[in-house]
Chains A and B, each alone.
Chain A
Amino acid sequence: MTRWFSQRPRGGLASLAQFAVLVIIAGIVLVPLVATVLGGFKELGDLRANPFGLPKVWVWRNYWDILSGVRYWQMLGNSLVIALLTVFLTLALSSMAAFTFAHLHFFGERFLLSYMLLGLLFPAATAILPLFIKIRDLGLLNSHWGIVLPQTAFALGMGILLLRNAFKQLPGELLDSALMDGCGYFRYFFYITLPLSTPILATVAVIAFVSSWNNYLLPLVVLNSENRYPWTLGLMAYQGEYSTAWQLVLAFITLTILPAIVMFVMAQKYIVAGLTAGAVKG
């Protein structure tokens, strides 16, 4: 039994009050979300007269029109491609770099490690203008690579830090005996280090995926063709077009946040663990 406050003497009443507090806060958290979902089912006049309640008439068309169009699926597809490429590159590059920093010792090792961890100290926004110029000069403007590569570069610090610590935890005797038996570093990396580190690799993947999926500033600066927009940009563009038709905007918001919510409900344990453990260890 865990007790942070005394529960025994008047436990019933005190915990009832605490329960009530939770219900009220949960209400404040959920009401905007529920109103958004329901608002997507309303007609504009209904929304105006009755923003809280259930729709008078359930208008499925708002949702159906979006789902049967190309636009929504294209945006989600773009976001998915960008996020998967970012996750793959982040895992590949940071696990390789973390492996050398964890197991091999060479001149300048400490310096290079601190250099790579510099990226943890400031957000991409600080260098966004020179970054834009760089992407432009490399000819990556208006392409998905123009988002994937900088995103990966900024995720490397987090990836290397988490993975290096994890790789160092693996028993050193394992590597010694493997090397003695003639197993090279490459095989050790692929057959021993990576399989033994799947939980921390998953953490890095979750963090990289979520931050790529939700990224707004970088795509905003890099992209200008709407058919390449990820959903964050597409949502803002849609809102710009239909700003007066709130019922459509609300349906669009609902559908764009749906994948994140479904993922969250299905894999909540891993996502919460990934996002908080990553924060704690980083």
Chain B
Amino acid sequence: MATTLASSVETSRRPGGRGWLTILIFLPPALLLFTIFVAMPMGEAAWYSFYNWNGYGRPENFIGLKNYASLIGNHAFTQALLNNFLIIAVSLAIQLPLALGVALIVSKKIRGAVAFRMIFFLPYILADVAAGLIWRFVYDGDYGLVSGMTSLIGAQPVFLLADKNWAFSAVLVVIVWKYFGFHMMLYVAGLQSLDKALLEAAEIDGANAVQRFRHITLPLLGPMIRLSIFFSVVGALQLFDMIVPLTGGGPFDTTNTMVSYLYFFGITRMRVGFGSAVGVVLFLFCVTFALGYRRFFMRDD
């Protein structure tokens, strides 16, 4: 109500001379910086993606859609794409229920609830590179914690990150380890704003714990769950920093994500046209998802 009142007052306000001066001083710096470093590079990515160009001189060797075509049959790229979808699948099937379950426990008056919340959130504030390096140590077959376990049971040293069947699963573990605390925090915030009277009324009416969760807590948490899914997918699509210290995309290009593929195959080899095409594909995924998801799932939130 207050906002409608405010906005009705505001719409009647047209900038006078002083208003225009404010606009002319306040808006251009942000506009300029955004145009130069966000909008133009994105437009240029679309432009460069039609060229075979090494970044020097001007792009002149026009090759049409060849950069895109070469992505389709490319094993490393399709693997990277698949990996991105695997991250999303694990985020939704494992990370989300885990975060929700933990959130339900730590929002109760349980001993040390606040301390537990902080511990679970801690990995989220670490940089991905640091988390990646820590887990590279954990997985190290000679020195790490995995080696400690194998030598404890007298088994041969295992190098998970060098095994092409296991390397990406190992990466997925690190992702859940680092990010579930953030999603838990979202659910804790959601649970705190939940109307407890509803739960108590249901309890008095004889609803058991499962029924209360299924019919009250879960629907009321809907907006938070949708938000958490949104961040899982967006985060999965741009995952890069963690891949470099853990596996560098190896073994045999089995652990790349789209961004690390873009880095190793586009940037380090200065294939600007090709890398831009990868960027455009990634852009299309991100924008389609963000707009589609907001339109269909977050309309009421």
Residue ranges of A at the interface with B (Cβ–Cβ < 8 Å): 1-7, 15, 18-19, 21-22, 25-26, 28-33, 35-36, 39, 44, 47-48, 50-52, 92-94, 96-97, 99-100, 103-106, 112, 115-116, 118-123, 125-134, 136, 149-150, 152-154, 156-157, 160, 168-169, 171-173, 176, 184-186, 189, 210, 213-214, 216-217, 220-221, 232, 235-236, 239, 246, 249-250, 253, 256-257, 260-261, 264, 268, 271-272, 275-276, 279-280
Contacts and interface: CB of A to CB of B under 8 A. Distances in A.
A151 B144 CA distance: 35
B82 interface: no
A39 to B, nearest CB: 7
B262 A232 contact: no
Interface string B242-261: 00110000000000000100
A4 B217 CA distance: 8
B1 interface: no
Nearest to A233: B129
A37 B126 CA distance: 14
Given A22-B116, A125-B262, A6 B208 contact: yes
Interface string B113-133: 000101111111111111001
A117 B242 CA distance: 27
Interface of A is mostly: helix
Contacts of A22: 102, 105-106, 110, 112, 116
A208 to B, nearest CB: 14
Interface of B: 2-3, 5-7, 9-11, 13-15, 18-23, 25-27, 29-31, 33-34, 36-42, 44-45, 48, 55, 102, 104-112, 116, 118-130, 133-135, 137-138, 140, 142-145, 147-148, 177, 181-182, 185-186, 189, 191, 196, 199, 203, 208-209, 212-213, 217, 227, 231, 234, 237-238, 240-241, 244-245, 259, 262-263, 266-267, 272, 275-276, 279-280, 282-283, 286-287, 290-291
Contacts of B262: 125, 128-129
A250 B138 CA distance: 11
Contact of A185 (B19, B39, B237, B244): B19
Contacts of A44: 143
Nearest to B138: A32
B241 A216 contact: yes
Contacts of B186: 276, 279-280
A198 to B, nearest CB: 19
A146 to B, nearest CB: 10
Given A96-B25, A134-B41, A152-B33, 7 more contacts: A18-B108, A133-B272, A160-B30, A172-B6, A189-B26, A260-B126, A276-B186
